[in-house]
Amino acid sequence: MQNLSTKKKIIRISLVALTIALFLLLVYFILVWTGLWEKLNSVEKLKDMILSLGIWGRITFVILQFLQVTFIPLPSPIIIMAGSLIYGPLQAGLLSLAGILLGSTFAFFLGRTYGKRLVSFMVGEKLQKKWTKNLTECRYSFFLMMLLPFFPDDILCLVAGLTDMSTSFFMFTQFITRPIGIFAVSFLTSGEIIPFESWGLVVWGIILVLSFTLIYLSTKYNKQIENFIKRLFNKNKDVKNVKK
């Protein structure tokens, strides 16, 4: 009975992987055939494409953000920047937030429902093992990883579904960290707050240095950070229990 159950599970995962592969292949050929693939890596070309869609532009924008989290390796900052040029930072941020939150949730449940085989198929076995190990050992640091730039957010969402991370903790992390990152990119890259000239270049340099420094420190001291967050979390939980 156990062998039969295992076979059914393997067949089900294989069918899902095949379906996703065919879907990705179809989407890729459509993008190449329509000439959209080249536009997706250029802010100006992507802006022109979305503008040409008229009232469907906003829906397309949300779909692009959903796809870049789940199936297609599109650069999210480029999509957000293009949206800021078209709709302004606030509206682009809200549209991006809708697509990315939907995509993140979907990715999490893909990992949770279909397991390691599917995630390995989508991101590669090496990355799957690396980030599964990191999130298993440093679950609370997931919050910091999602907040800081240059971490593979989309892979982390898929892999989080493989760990014992609760759905409530995952969703809490997404609803806190995603808006911060998205609106930071949307407003900062619009040039309205920090210009891309004169004193603005100095500020951008400082931001980049600080970002890389934080990433280095969070990677090197991830276990210490994890223990600190655990102690903080447990302390707050103890205070709540005492009040009750």
The predicted-structure confidence for 220-244, as pLDDT tens digits, reads as follows: 766 777 777 667 666 655 545 545 5
Classify residue 24: in a domain, yes or no. no
Q: How many domains does the chain have?
A: 1
Tokens representing 212 are 């890389």
Asked whether residue 66 carries a pLDDT value surpassing 80, the answer given is yes
CA–CA separation, 244 and 231 (whole Å): 20
Classify residue 33: in a domain, yes or no. no
For residue 95, the enclosing domain spans: 38-238
Question: What amino acid is encoded at 80 in this protein?
Answer: I
Is the separation of the CB atoms in 72 and 37 below 8 Å? no
CA–CA separation, 11 and 1 (whole Å): 15
Classify residue 23: in a domain, yes or no. no
Classify residue 244: in a domain, yes or no. no
Is the separation of the CB atoms in 78 and 50 below 8 Å? no
Number of Cβ within a 10 Å radius of residue 109: 15
Q: Residue 106: its pLDDT value, please?
A: 93
Classify residue 84: in a domain, yes or no. yes
Classify residue 1: in a domain, yes or no. no
Classify residue 176: in a domain, yes or no. yes
Mean pLDDT of the region 104-122: 88
Tokens representing 59 are 């829906």
Classify residue 15: in a domain, yes or no. no
CA–CA separation, 95 and 87 (whole Å): 10
Tokens representing 95 are 């549209």
Asked whether residue 195 carries a pLDDT value surpassing 80, the answer given is no
Asked whether residue 124 carries a pLDDT value surpassing 90, the answer given is no
Q: Residue 144: its pLDDT value, please?
A: 81
Mean pLDDT of the region 64-74: 82
